[in-house]
């Protein structure tokens, strides 16, 4: 009996050891391919089976990442905001089914509830162009949460859709939730999280910055590709944000928390052991949202169907267990906190290199830790192809496509990536490059009506009307419901 027990213990030890070695090989390969620069913590049955760092906190000085390296965690913050709201409900200080207007009295939409904020079903306008007039009037002003309601009132901003009728990811919802936390608790959002989440969870390296542009001493630099055909990361300080509001705002609630991978592990453990939130409230957060018509909110990410609860996402397919998560992305930063409740397994990834394929990586890790077949993510075909096209290496670009068609597992490829690459060349008025990209896309995706539609648009913009007609005709043949293609063909004929 003793020998048998000894063998079982040795087997368990070796299994964990091999898993750790495989994980190290997995991330070393990603790091070598410039597909990951960051921190990882993976746990199984309450025990950390892997914790490591790959790359640099500052690439320019080759300063290596360590346990204390702090990252902005982007939209993982939404789970903290939802937790804070549900803590207040647990204490009887609010009810998420009540109107937002009860707690923010100037809020001009009487029918929107707190729950609709947390479930992204409010119908509120997005932040992207909401403040353009104010920024033009006051170019030095930094827009904050407190400016949202006055802006809605001033411009009589209509809802995008009736509240509760549709799901739409929207940072404004969580900005307003943060304001509710402040109004109900009587303290700032940052102080509330420090007192009620960070301290109880023993998260000593986490905080909400007063100004997200001012970095802490341990905070990492962020890096991203400047365009869709670049092969080298650049420091995001040298890049222009895609929307003016990103440069001119200091929002909190939907993002903003700065933390470490180890601290996020502490948060996950404290939350799911009901140390910072009751079981009833946590179950509310992890229940898929139903719309007014009683249909469950669902959408697709990386080929998997996802639903949204209150600040949490979840896989609808629970054959491998109930898996909940939230990912985050800002320029130069990708993050994810994923937890399989059924199997008690967690994955935390923080990468300071933007454009990271976070879902293929996290899904591969899930398979790896469960001893299932997995695939190490590979380099992006459109990016390498685009670099050849931009540098005038037409033959190399074509050969790359031929290689891929022979071995589709050799690169990561998506229709969306090729479309974005082609349209970027088109915006830069590089017609030859754009047309080469879209032509190659039709070879890779020969039954995609959308690719032929995009190719037709590019040909039309580049003055090749007869060829554009053929592409639009092909698109409409593949999808008879392509009304855009039909309308453009009619215009060309006229």
- What's the pLDDT score for residue 493? 81
Position 19 scores a pLDDT of: 66
How many helices (H) does the chain have, and how many strands (E)?
A: 18, 14
- pTM, two decimals, is 0.89
CA distance 70 to 38: 10
Cα(318)–Cα(418) distance, integer angstroms: 32
Pair 55, 31: CB distance under 8 Å: yes
Closest CA to 312 of 345, 291, 336, 286: 286
Q: Provide the β-strand partners of residue 328.
A: 335
Burial of 16 by CB count in 10 Å (0-12 exposed, 13-18 middle, 19+ buried)?
middle
> What are 198's two structure tokens?
């960070």
* Structure tokens belonging to residue 430: 């590089």
* Residue 118 and residue 96 in contact, taking contact as beta carbons nearer than 8 Å: yes
Q: What is the pLDDT along the chain (494 residues), one digit of tens a residue?
A: 444 444 444 444 444 444 688 999 999 999 998 889 999 999 998 899 999 999 999 999 999 999 999 999 999 999 999 999 999 999 999 999 999 999 999 999 999 999 999 999 999 999 999 999 999 999 999 999 999 999 999 999 999 999 999 999 999 999 999 999 999 999 999 999 999 999 999 999 999 999 998 999 999 999 999 999 999 999 999 998 878 899 999 999 999 999 999 999 999 999 999 999 999 999 999 999 999 999 999 998 878 899 999 999 999 999 999 999 999 999 999 999 999 999 999 999 999 987 678 898 999 999 999 999 998 888 889 999 999 999 999 999 999 999 999 999 889 898 989 999 999 999 999 999 999 999 999 999 999 999 999 999 999 999 999 999 999 999 999 999 999 899 999 998 87
Residue 375 has φ and ψ, to the nearest 5°, of -125, 125
Report how far apart, in Å, the C-alpha atoms of 200 and of each of 205, 263, 267, 490 are: 13, 12, 9, 65
The pLDDT value given to residue 17: 45
Q: How many CB atoms lie within 10 A of CB 256?
A: 26
Distance CA 113, CA 95 (A): 9
3-state secondary structure 185-213: HCCCHHHHHHHHHHCCCCCCCCECCCCCC
Hunting for tokens 């509120």 — which residue is that? 124
Tell me the C-alpha distance between 179 and 160, whole Å: 21
Q: Are 332 and 222 in contact (CB under 8 A)?
A: yes
CB of 276 closer than 8 Å to CB of 86: no
> Six-digit token pair at 323?
């898996």
Contacts 24+ apart (CB under 8 A), 177-180: 177/81, 177/82, 177/85, 177/114, 177/117, 177/118, 177/253, 178/81, 178/145, 178/252, 178/253, 179/104, 179/145, 179/146, 179/148, 179/149, 179/253, 180/85, 180/94, 180/100, 180/103, 180/104, 180/114, 180/117
Distance between CA 198 and CA 118 in Å, rounded? 21
- Let me know: does 392 contact 436? Beta carbons within 8 Å: no
The burial class, CB within 10 Å (0-12 / 13-18 / 19+), for 275 is: exposed
The domains of the chain, with CATH numbers, are 74-369 (3.40.710.10), 381-493 (1.25.40.10)
Quickly tell me which residue has 């670099």 as its tokens: 387
Q: Are 57 and 65 in contact (CB under 8 A)?
A: yes
């Amino acid at each position: 009996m003793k020998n048998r027990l000894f063998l079982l213990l040795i087997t368990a030890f070796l299994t964990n050891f091999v898993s750790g070695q495989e994980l190290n090989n997995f991330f070393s390969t990603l790091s070598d391919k410039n597909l990951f620069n960051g921190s990882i913590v993976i746990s199984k049955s309450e025990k950390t089976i892997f914790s490591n760092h790959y790359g640099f906190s500052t690439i320019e000085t080759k300063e290596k990442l360590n346990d204390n390296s702090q990252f902005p965690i982007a939209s993982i913050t939404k789970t903290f905001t939802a937790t804070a709201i549900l803590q207040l409900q647990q204490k009887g200080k609010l009810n998420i089914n009540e109107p937002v207007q009860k707690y923010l009295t100037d809020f001009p939409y009487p029918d929107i509830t707190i729950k609709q904020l947390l479930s992204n079903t409010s119908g509120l306008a997005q932040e992207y162009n909401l403040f353009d007039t104010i920024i033009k009037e006051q170019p030095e002003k930094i827009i904050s949460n407190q400016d949202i309601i006055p802006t809605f009132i001033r411009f009589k901003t209509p809802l995008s859709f009736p509240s509760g009728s549709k799901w739409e990811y929207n940072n404004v919802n969580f900005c307003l939730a943060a304001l509710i936390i402040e109004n109900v608790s009587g303290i700032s959002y940052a102080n509330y999280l420090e007192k009620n989440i960070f301290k109880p969870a023993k998260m000593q390296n986490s905080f909400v910055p007063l100004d997200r542009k001012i970095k802490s001493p341990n905070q990492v630099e962020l890096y991203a590709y400047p365009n869709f055909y670049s092969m080298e990361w650049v420091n995001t300080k040298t890049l222009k944000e895609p929307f003016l509001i990103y440069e001119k705002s200091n929002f909190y609630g939907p993002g903003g928390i700065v933390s470490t991978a180890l601290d996020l592990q502490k948060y996950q453990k404290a939350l799911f052991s009901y140390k910072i939130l009751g079981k009833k409230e946590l179950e509310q957060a992890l229940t898929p949202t139903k719309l007014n018509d009683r249909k469950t909110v669902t959408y697709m990410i990386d080929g998997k169907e996802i639903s949204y609860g209150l600040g949490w996402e979840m896989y609808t397919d629970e054959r491998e267990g109930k898996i909940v998560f939230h990912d985050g992305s800002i320029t130069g930063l990708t993050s994810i906190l994923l937890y399989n409740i059924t199997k008690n397994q967690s994955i935390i990834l923080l990468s300071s290199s933007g454009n990271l394929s976070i879902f293929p990586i996290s899904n591969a890790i899930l398979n790896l830790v469960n001893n299932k077949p997995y695939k190490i993510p590979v380099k992006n075909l459109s990016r390498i192809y685009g670099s050849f096209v931009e540098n005038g290496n037409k033959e190399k670009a074509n050969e790359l496509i031929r290689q891929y068609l022979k071995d589709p597992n050799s690169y990561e490829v998506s229709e969306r990536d090729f479309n974005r690459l082609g349209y970027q060349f088109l915006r830069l008025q590089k017609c030859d490059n754009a047309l080469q990209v879209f032509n190659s896309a039709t070879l890779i995706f020969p039954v995609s009506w959308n690719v032929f539609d995009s190719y037709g648009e590019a040909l039309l913009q580049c003055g090749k009307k007869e060829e554009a007609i053929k592409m639009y005709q092909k698109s409409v043949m593949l999808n008879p419901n392509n009304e855009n293609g039909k309308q453009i063909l009619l215009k060309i004929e006229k």
